[in-house]
Amino acid sequence: MNNIVELNDITKKWGTFTALDNINLNVKKGEILTLLGPSGCGKSTLMRIVAGFENPTVGHVVINGKDVTAIPPERRPVNMVFQRYALFPHLDVFDNVAFGLRLKGHSKDQVNDEVDQMLKLVQLQDFRSRWIGEISGGQAQRVALARALVNKPEVLLLDEPLAALDLKIRHHMLEELKRIHTETGTTFIYVTHDQDEAMILSD
């Protein structure tokens, strides 16, 4: 199985503070890799470097065999889901998921087909016309997942995406994530400080 992400000698410093020190990590295509650790240990910083939101002080990020260290986030084959879902409250569920496709200039028929397919994947096909304020936290997280996956990223980065949900919903969403991963085959990199989450989700 080939590596889809390679982090080579990644160091990140802010002034005299070292957030990451000579990190080397390979992620295989199609796997779920979990980064487990307490708050402040550099997990989210590493994810932001993979996504392109931060530049490493030293080192290289390689995705699909291509050095993307100097490539901006919008041109990397990566999407990211955050703890705060960053959904648009003035758009309904369908339009939130469709947002990225429309930015890329997809046709109306393409957008309709791809968004409908993604809403079925996350089991929200009956919620396409709901406003974001009318759905639950677990449903909002599924909208955020659909919005990220509809762009067909090579790698999906999940930065503590379930931290704001209560325990019962969190466990349900972990099972949903495993199902979605199986159905799409997308590589997941998942950040958490919760050991149970890591054990349930990881390959």
Q: How far is CA 94 from CA 70, 114, 134, in A?
A: 33, 11, 13
- Listing DSSP states for 8-36 in one string gives EEEEEEETTEEEEEEEEEEEETT-EEEEE
Q: How far apart are CA 92 and CA 31, in angstroms?
A: 32
Segment 53-72 mean pLDDT:
97
Segment 47-63 mean pLDDT:
97
Segment 108-125 mean pLDDT:
93
pLDDT at 178 over 70: yes
Segment 24-40 mean pLDDT:
93
Which CATH number applies to 1-77+155-203? 3.40.50.300
Cα–Cα–Cα angle for 34, 70, 181, nearest 5°? Answer: 30
Q: Is 168 left (phi over 0), alpha (psi -120 to 50) or beta?
A: alpha
pLDDT digits (tens, 9 = 90+) for 77-102: 999 987 666 789 999 999 999 998 99
Domain segments of the chain as ranges: 1-77+155-203, 86-152
How does residue 1 score in pLDDT terms, banded at 50, 70 and 90? low
Q: pLDDT at position 7, please? A: 98
| Structural contact between residues 119 and 128, judged by C-beta atoms closer than 8 angstroms | yes
What's the whole-number average pLDDT of the chain?
91
Cα–Cα–Cα angle for 27, 21, 46, nearest 5°? Answer: 45
Structure tokens at 139: 């449903």
Segment 133-146 mean pLDDT:
89
pLDDT at 32 over 70: yes
